[in-house]
Amino acid sequence: MMEEGVKEEARLCFYPFLSAASNYVEASGVTLDALITAAAFERARLRGKERVREAIREGAIRKPVIMRTAQAEMELLSYPFARILVSCIGNAHLVRRYALSEAKSAYNKLLEDSSTGASADTDIIYGMAQEFEIKIDLSRLPHEHVQVQMSFVDYLRFTSNLRDKRWKLVNRGLEKGQVKLRKGEFLRIIQEAIYARISKDMPLDVPAALCESIRKYTTDIEVELEERRKKFGDSGFETSSGFRVKDPSCFPPCITAILSNLKDGVNVPHTARFAVTAFLLNIGLTVDEIIEIYKNSPDFDEERTRYQVVHIAGESGSTKYTAPSCSTMRTYGNCVDSDDVCEKINHPLSYYKLKLKQKQKRKEEQQDKSKEKVKTEK
């Protein structure tokens, strides 16, 4: 049974980026030094480390069942410690992945907490609006649906990174400067606000000596990061069955850049999504493998993604698409980081084939040289 009076602490530990949460930590008198060194906070430190590892492995932060105040406090303190760990490691990919995992998990918890059917559901929505200084009006529609209205100025402030066309202001039915949203949509906007807040000062400017003193926590995380990098290749995108096509290191720079943005949870424009999807289908990845790659996207919706990928693959009876040429890529601003191989080709698929050929040739030359060496040594 939950200890009496623990409700507020439990709320704060599930949303540790709230100003009330940092005020709580400040008022508790726990110093940075104590958090880093005191034996009493070892549980918070271990949980902080686990937070980061969950972000790396799952792209989500687990929300534990909270029964006692002390447990809620450790959970709450694990958040600033996790931020310190991520900052000391200083890997830009980890910073984005961690911030996105925290924001996504908070969004899921918000959806859950505001769907109990109780009157407190709307308090949560008002609370978040107030936290991020968004003025809203709520109304109840039939079937208990909640509608949120916010000014288009705030709407634009928080949706600039959302690429899906349903977020475009022209598709929202603007009325007297107000945008109407379903509850889930409003909370999705709150996820953006949370992400912006968490990633704002990251990596934090942590003194080197402090980073050194917590090496025993960061080392395991760095090992895990490196293992994942090796497992999924340098382009680092994650498919459950691994790459059917062996060599992402031969991908053209434009495709590598798009994949890297997807991996980091950065929103990628439609034209780039189309290009990367068609490219990967053309070189033999399956629909499921491509869906896996999109899982990190801030706006990931499995059903929609599957529909789009299947359509590009031509499996739904439509035309099978070929990846766009370099000139089309240039037109849409998707040709980035071009290199000397790019000068010899006019299609990303030709780039890939040429690079594979060059690599194979180098390998054979190397093998010949080794054979020669063995012969002369004999």
Size of interface with ligand SF4, in residues (CB under 6 A): 10
User: What are residue 179's DSSP bridge partners?
Assistant: 150
Does residue 342 bind ligand SF4 (CB under 6 A)? yes
Q: Residue 233 or residue 348: which is nearer to ligand SF4 going by CB?
A: 348
**Nearest distance, CB of residue 276 and ligand SF4, angstroms:** 11
**Nearest distance, CB of residue 11 and ligand SF4, angstroms:** 48
Does residue 181 bind ligand SF4 (CB under 6 A)? no
- Site mask, ligand SF4, residues 120-159, x = CB under 6 A? ----------------------------------------
Vertex 141 angle, CA 135 and 143, to 5°: 135
| Among positions 203, 338, 356, 359, the unique one binding ligand SF4 when judged by CB under 6 A | 338
Stretch that binds ligand SF4, among 1-9, 21-29, 235-243, 250-258 (CB under 6 A): 250-258
Spatial separation of the C-alpha atoms in residues 135 and 132, rounded to whole Å: 9
Q: Residue 139 or residue 331: which is nearer to ligand SF4 going by CB?
A: 331
**Nearest distance, CB of residue 159 and ligand SF4, angstroms:** 29
| Among positions 254, 259, 280, 313, the unique one binding ligand SF4 when judged by CB under 6 A | 254
Residue 137 DSSP SS3: strand
Does residue 280 bind ligand SF4 (CB under 6 A)? no
Categorise residue 5: left if φ over 0, alpha if ψ from -120 to 50, beta otherwise: left
Q: Residue 187 or residue 335: which is nearer to ligand SF4 going by CB?
A: 335
| Among positions 253, 271, 354, 359, the unique one binding ligand SF4 when judged by CB under 6 A | 253
Vertex 333 angle, CA 330 and 337, to 5°: 80
- Site mask, ligand SF4, residues 308-327, x = CB under 6 A? ------------------x-
Does residue 329 bind ligand SF4 (CB under 6 A)? yes
**Nearest distance, CB of residue 270 and ligand SF4, angstroms:** 16
HEC profile for 299-351?
Answer: CCCHHHHHHHHHHHHCCCCCCCCCCCCHHHHHHCCCCCCCCCHHHHCCCHHHH
- Whole-angstrom CA distances from 90 to 86, 206, 226, 331 are 6, 10, 14, 35
Question: Does residue 48 contact residue 174 with C-beta atoms inside 8 Å?
Answer: no
| Among positions 252, 265, 277, 293, the unique one binding ligand SF4 when judged by CB under 6 A | 252
**Nearest distance, CB of residue 45 and ligand SF4, angstroms:** 44
Radius of gyration of the chain (CA): 24
- Whole-angstrom CA distances from 261 to 92, 140, 266 are 12, 38, 5
Does residue 268 bind ligand SF4 (CB under 6 A)? no
| Cis peptide leading into residue 142 (ω within 30°) | no
Does residue 260 bind ligand SF4 (CB under 6 A)? no
Residue 1 DSSP SS3: coil
The type of residue at 127 is: G
The type of residue at 328 is: T
Does residue 250 bind ligand SF4 (CB under 6 A)? no
Residues interacting with ligand SF4, by CB under 6 A? Answer: 252-254, 326, 329, 335, 338, 342, 348, 351
